[in-house]
Amino acid sequence: MVNYTICKCKQVTYFDVEDALKKFSTFSDVEKNFEEVQKLTNCSTGCGGCHDKILDAISEIMSK
């Protein structure tokens, strides 16, 4: 996967999201994981325009 910026307001990349998710031993719920990624990276706390991109990235990472 190529790294790209997902959240421009907070400068969060795909790899940042992936690294945040690696902190959890298991993935079970996209929305719960989104909240944890949000806490760790501050993504989607600015304008909110990246919300769907973050969820898509989490879903993709969880399905690997």
Find out whether 18 and 40 touch, Cβ atoms under 8 Å. no
DSSP 8-state class, residue 25: S
The model's pTM is: 0.84
Q: Which fold has domain 5-62?
A: Arc Repressor Mutant, subunit A (1.10.10)
- Mean pLDDT, 10 residues at a time, the chain of 64 residues: 93 94 74 87 92 91 84
Task: Domain ranges for the chain, please list them.
Answer: 5-62
The span from the CA of 14 to the CA of 39, in Å, is: 15
